[in-house]
């Protein structure tokens, strides 16, 4: 058995830099035509000039031949308290920056330079709204007193809903949503609000973190949630509602930084970045809805053309290895390491 779909895009991806970039990029480029590249490098990508240089490094890291050569990185800027509206003008004029990312300060990996209070960047958000540059949000509040499982819900009430109301024309992507509450919020929000969903949040609930012992390779942010949350996400992704689209949030970390007393947040999924979604959709008998979610709705949201070519997925089990190289002697442990993935990309 096989299916064919329009070639998909990844609307939320971490590519890193240097040797790690070169190591992980081919997995994405073999599957996806384009990806929205997250700017949380060290130091973060806060200017259009820095985004242009990062884009050049990504293109230089692409294998010159093979199925990878046509991959297009879509760059983003990392918003800080000090991002001036003039930077938004430069971003828009560049033709290479497609969105700006809001990391609440301290919310996740490399978010220390993020925004401390969204009202501080009102003038910048106003310019984004005017120029049609979407705001991508990591939707979690950060207060130490807030339960880690409640951070997304609290963000909706305290930050997202008021911001969407204050900027009625701002296009907003609620990134990697993880709760039934977020699904309901996006479904009923005004026009111009969308959301990405990761494969791990469609396939796993929070029990995966504690399956017979603590499982650092299932730790990502926002953290996996309950089974009813997972079911609501899967229902949304497979519903045909164009507000929900694919964003893997594939986030490579060296093995020893995850298998650690203070392990990093992030799961690597790019090696099976479309296959894992096929598995989730098949599990609820909705493979016919995969193409819209993976290949149509994100491009439509960003106002970009849908891809012209197609990919073929075969129903054939394969096992990702225990680890992949991450450059400079490092390794990373992919999702499903040593365990079966049920669909395979045909080459």
Q: Which of 9, 10, 229, 249 is catalytic?
A: 249
Q: From the list Zn ion, ligand NCD, none, which binds 109 (C-beta under 5 to 8 Å, kind-based)?
A: ligand NCD
38, 13 Cβ separation under 8 angstroms: yes
In DSSP notation, 309-331 reads -EEEEE---B---S-EEEETTEE
Verify binding: residue 332, ligand NCD, rule CB under 6 A. Answer: no
Under the binding rule (CB under 6 A), the answer on residue 138 touching ligand NCD is: yes
Between 138 and 230, name the residue whose CB sits nearer to Zn ion: 138
221 interacts with, out of ligand NCD, Zn ion, none, CB within 5 to 8 A per kind: ligand NCD
Q: Please identify which residue in 11, 24, 32, 40 interacts with ligand NCD, judged by CB under 6 A.
A: 40
The answer to whether 201 contacts ligand NCD (rule: CB under 6 A) is no
With contact defined as beta carbons under 8 Å apart, do 243 and 187 qualify?
yes
Looking at the Cβ atoms of 127 and 176, the one nearer to ligand NCD is 176
Partner in contact with 108, chosen from Zn ion, ligand NCD, none, beta carbon below 5 to 8 Å by kind: ligand NCD
| 249 included as an active-site residue | yes
Q: Whole-angstrom distance between the N-terminal and C-terminal Cα of the chain?
A: 15
User: Per DSSP, what are the bridge partners of residue 310?
Assistant: 6
d(Cα 266, Cα 219) in Å, to the nearest integer? 6
Measured distance CA(61)–CA(54) in Å, rounded: 11
**Least spacing, CB of residue 305 vs Zn ion, in Å:** 25
Burial class (CB in 10 A: 0-12, 13-18, 19+), 144: exposed
Smaller CB distance to ligand NCD: residue 20 or 313? Answer: 20
| Cα–Cα distance, 205 to 191 (Å, whole number) | 30
Q: Residue 249 interacts with Zn ion (CB under 5 A)?
A: yes
How many angstroms separate the CA atoms of 70 and 32, rounded? 10
Work out which of 126, 231, 265, 337 binds ligand NCD, going by CB under 6 A: 265
Strands 10-13 and 172-174 come out as unpaired
- Burial tier of 190 (Cβ tally within 10 Å: 0-12, 13-18, 19+): exposed
Under rule CB under 6 A, residue 199 binds ligand NCD: no
Active site residues: 249
Q: Give the binding site for ligand NCD (CB under 6 A).
A: 14, 40, 108-109, 138, 220-221, 249, 251, 265-266
Which parts of this chain interact with Zn ion (CB under 5 A)? Answer: 249
């Amino acid at each position: 058995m096989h299916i064919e779909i329009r070639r998909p895009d990844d609307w939320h991806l971490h590519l890193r830099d240097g040797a790690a970039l070169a190591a992980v990029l081919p997995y994405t480029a073999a599957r996806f035509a384009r990806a929205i590249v997250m700017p949380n490098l060290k130091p973060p990508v806060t200017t259009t000039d820095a985004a242009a240089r990062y884009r050049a490094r990504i293109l230089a890291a692409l294998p010159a031949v093979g199925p990878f050569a046509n991959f297009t990185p879509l760059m983003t800027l990392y918003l800080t308290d000090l991002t001036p509206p003039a930077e938004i003008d430069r971003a828009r004029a560049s033709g290479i920056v497609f969105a700006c990312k809001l990391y609440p300060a301290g919310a996740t990996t490399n978010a220390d330079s993020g925004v401390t209070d969204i009202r501080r960047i009102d003038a910048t958000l106003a310019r984004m709204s005017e120029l049609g540059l979407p705001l991508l949000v990591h939707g979690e509040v950060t207060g130490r007193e807030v339960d880690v499982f409640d951070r997304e819900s609290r963000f909706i009430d305290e930050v997202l809903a008021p911001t969407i109301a204050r900027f009625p024309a701002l296009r907003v992507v609620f990134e990697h949503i993880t709760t039934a509450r977020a699904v309901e919020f996006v479904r009923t929000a005004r026009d111009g609000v969308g959301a990405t969903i990761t494969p791990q949040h469609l396939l796993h609930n929070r029990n995966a973190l504690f399956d017979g012992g603590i499982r650092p390779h299932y730790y990502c942010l926002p953290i996996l949630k309950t089974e009813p949350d997972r079911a609501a996400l899967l229902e949304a992704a497979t519903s045909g509602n164009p507000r929900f689209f694919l964003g893997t949030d594939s986030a490579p970390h060296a093995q020893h930084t995850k298998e650690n007393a203070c392990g990093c947040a992030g799961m690597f999924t790019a090696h099976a970045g479309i296959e894992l979604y096929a598995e989730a959709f098949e599990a609820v008998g909705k493979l016919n809805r995969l193409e819209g979610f993976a290949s149509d709705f994100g491009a439509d949201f960003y106002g970009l053309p849908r891809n012209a070519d197609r990919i073929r997925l075969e129903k054939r089990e394969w096992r990702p290895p225990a680890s992949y190289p991450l450059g400079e002697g490092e390794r990373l442990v992919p999702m499903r390491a040593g365990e079966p993935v049920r669909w395979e990309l045909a080459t």
